[in-house]
Structure 1
Amino acid sequence: MEIKTACGAGQGSSLVLRMWTEDVVKEMGIEARVESMDVSAARSAKCDLVLTSKALVEVVSSPNHETRWVTNYIDKVSIREQLEAFCDGHGISYKKKGE
């Protein structure tokens, strides 16, 4: 799976979100490549999923990928909820919380 994390400039909060997303992906046992970028690059990115803030969803949304937003870039619960919903919707198996 290929995941992009996006913020306005692609240097600050998207990098933080990338690091937390990598942690959650590892906990879930999902094989994924996670990369941070700015909204322009994320909009045109051909990938499986883009994670961003609620304010940027419309800017980042594209037919090239699914876009989901997290409530807080350092909240593993929010990140995991979005990743679980994505995986469930695409038939991707993962370790359930507590397994």
Structure 2
Amino acid sequence: MPKLTTMISVWLWAGIFGFIYTIFYYWKEIKKAKLDTIHFCVLFLIFCFGGIFLFITALISCLKKEDNEKIMRDLETIKEKIDDLVEDIRKS
């Protein structure tokens, strides 16, 4: 059980660091969009849940013995959804 908890926390931290990276990388666009605190909170929660979701997806795929190509397609789909979210933020 401690190993499972550690793995979940690693993915959660990956989501947190992904959020921090996104904030620094898109800082100019964020300033232009004039985001409020609630927007940052929602983005932070999305990144945290996204990290945990990726962990659960990886765990389930390992249990089902799925092939790597399907996992890569799923990750690419998630990446596209995140890119769409970033574009929507830029347009706002």
TM-score interval (norm. to shorter): 0.3 to 0.5
Larger radius of gyration: 2
User: Which has a greater percent of strand?
Assistant: 1
User: Which has a greater percent of helix?
Assistant: 2
TM-score between the two structures when normalised by the length of structure 2: 0.35
Higher RCO, 1 vs 2 (CA within 8 Å, ≥6 residues apart): 2
